[in-house]
Amino acid sequence: MDRGGSAVPRNGEDIRMKLESLTQSIGEWLRGTGPESDIVMSSRVRLARNVAHYPFVSRATEQDRADIERFLRERIATVPVGKGLEYIDVGHLEEIDRQFLVERQLISREHADAQGARSVAIDRMEQVSLMINEEDHLRIQCMHSGLDLKGAWEQIKVVDDQIEKVVPYAFHPRWGYLTACPTNVGTGIRVSVMLHLPALVITRQIDKVFRSLHKISLAVRGLYGEGSQAMGDFYQISNQTTLGRTEEELVEQVGDVVPVLIDYERRAREFLVRETQQNVHDQVSRAFGILRTAQTISAEETMQLLSRVRMGVLLGLIGDVKIADINSLLVRTQPAHLQKLRGVELDTNDRNIERARYLRQHFEGNEAGRAN
Amino acid sequence: MKCQHCDKQAVFHITELEEGGVRELHLCEDHARSYLNQSEPEPASAEEAEEGGGGALAGPLGVGQTADELAILDQRACDMCGITFFEFRNQGRLGCPHDYVQFEKELEPLIANIHGATEHTGRRPSRAAPLPEGTEDLTRVIGLRREMKEAIALEDYEKARENRDAIRELEDRWIAAAPPSRETEKTSE
């Protein structure tokens, strides 16, 4: 094995173009299509895998990491799923570009902040992404719009099977697939759905829902918020255990609870309309008003207001706004997306001003479009 | 060492393994019992409910071990990657696949606590005979590589050569034959 030099080709002009084109599209999980997409934003399955003959990432030397990166990239290139992948050398990206990939959910915050040789491979649809040298050597992720866990599982199974033909994944007959952290050992699977639950938040039922989810070993976290308060009423529900049950059982465990949550949220929305229609109408109209007129606005406030407007559109309280549009604004008003769209780096204050301008222009554009 | 909650001697040393790192608890027998018996604590925030098992699911490790026993255990190192149990307890991350074999007895209660199970029942690799299902054999490469570096540093080139050959043999057995190489593909086009 050639051990010299950098294992990953530096990001060239083509990667810059790739990032540019990503900026212009909105990505699979924001398409706003798929079953139950009024409440379920996206369904995701990820698998944690490691190569058997290298130390885990946190114990690997710089040379090991470069070798692992190259080994995986070269092997994966020989199987059909590997052919349609675009690699981005995360280790040599600017901070803003790494942040951009995090906002898009193509890499994790940990992967963005890590050290050493690491990369991400993304398919054209932005459904499949492979993170190399995150906490584990390989993290395969598959994301579908709306509620489609089975579809995401079927797709990731194909990707995993093909890669396993050419990569000796660390496996133990008793413990299953071996991972850097024992919390992922066994199947290495994390099944999650991202839900928009504004009515459960407004009616203060959300904590009760979360407590019952914990009792059945499901984890809840916010969108982007690594442990922080969920922004804009978006929550990710996922399995906590990975050993002792089959992948299908774990997919079902998460899948079974989603219809119940959808039902709670729908009932809470109906309750709001029935009992407090004027109040709710007032809240969403004010949120819409601020988004269309503000002169400076933070990313957090934007998320919160877009969340309320999204609910307003779905309740028929705001007309002429498409859900896919709101979804796309959710990601395009994030700091790195905003700066890439504007083509300049901005500090927080200037970003807030630029974000408000972007929102005003967006909604004005929509109105002008309708008037014509 | 005193118990964290009272003046009694701490006899239980518990390591809570969490996604973001580890939390150590030093407790007397009474406090340890009430800590271990408390029913699943409700996470106060989403922070504890992060992916990968937060505080509520994190497990006790080394329950019933005295400080002395724990100190001896902490010194034990993996034959392949060299990580000590102490390092694992501090970082919450294992060093290599062999740790699951080397520290199996110690990891078992921890894994049982996290997952409520100690046996994988999901998918398994289908490997062409005569390769076994488990990859423990191939993982030996990690130790051989480490020894080879040490031998080179000591200018023991004979030993380094032996290790290099052993690594090649293992890699050839496990890896070289596996994928259709790009050269083969080109010729078949």
Low-confidence ranges of chain A (pLDDT < 50): 1-9, 225-228, 372
Taking Cα atoms as reference points, which of A8, A1, A23 lies closest to residue A121?
A8
DSSP label at residue B41: P
**A215 and B CB contact within 8 Å:** yes
Tell me how far apart the alpha carbons of residues A44 and A153 are, in angstroms, rounded to a whole number: 8
Q: What pTM value is reported for the model?
A: 0.83
Q: Any residues with CB less than 8 A from the CB of B28 and at least 6 apart, and which?
A: B3, B5, B6, B8, B9, B10, B11, B12
pLDDT in tens, B118-135: 999 999 998 887 899 999
pLDDT in tens, A43-78: 999 999 999 999 999 999 999 999 999 999 999 999
**A287 and B CB contact within 8 Å:** no
What residues of B are in contact with residue A49 (Cβ under 8 Å)? none
CA distances (Å), origin A113, targets A98, A99, A136, A296: 8, 9, 14, 29
**pLDDT score of A33:** 80
- Residue B45 phi/psi, 5-degree rounding, is -150, 170
Q: How many residues does chain A have?
A: 372
Question: Which of A184, A243, A249, A251 to mutate to test binding with chain B, by most B CBs within 10 Å of its CB?
Answer: A243
Q: Which helix (H) or strand (E) holds A24?
A: helix A13-24
Tens of pLDDT along chain B (189 residues)?
677 777 777 766 666 665 555 666 777 777 776 776 654 444 434 433 444 333 333 344 545 567 777 788 888 999 999 999 999 999 999 999 999 999 999 999 999 999 999 999 999 998 887 899 999 999 999 999 999 999 999 999 999 999 999 999 999 999 865 444 444 443 333
pLDDT in tens, A277-324: 899 999 999 999 999 999 999 999 999 999 999 999 999 999 889 888
SS3 content of chain B, % helix, strand, coil (to 5): 50, 10, 45
**pLDDT score of B46:** 41
DSSP label at residue A151: H
Using the CB atoms, write b or e for A288-312: b if 16+ within 10 Å.
bebbbebeebbbebbbbbbbbbbbb
Across the interface, whether the CB atoms of A183 and B117 are under 8 A apart is answered no
**A272 and B CB contact within 8 Å:** no
Across the interface, whether the CB atoms of B40 and A180 are under 8 A apart is answered no
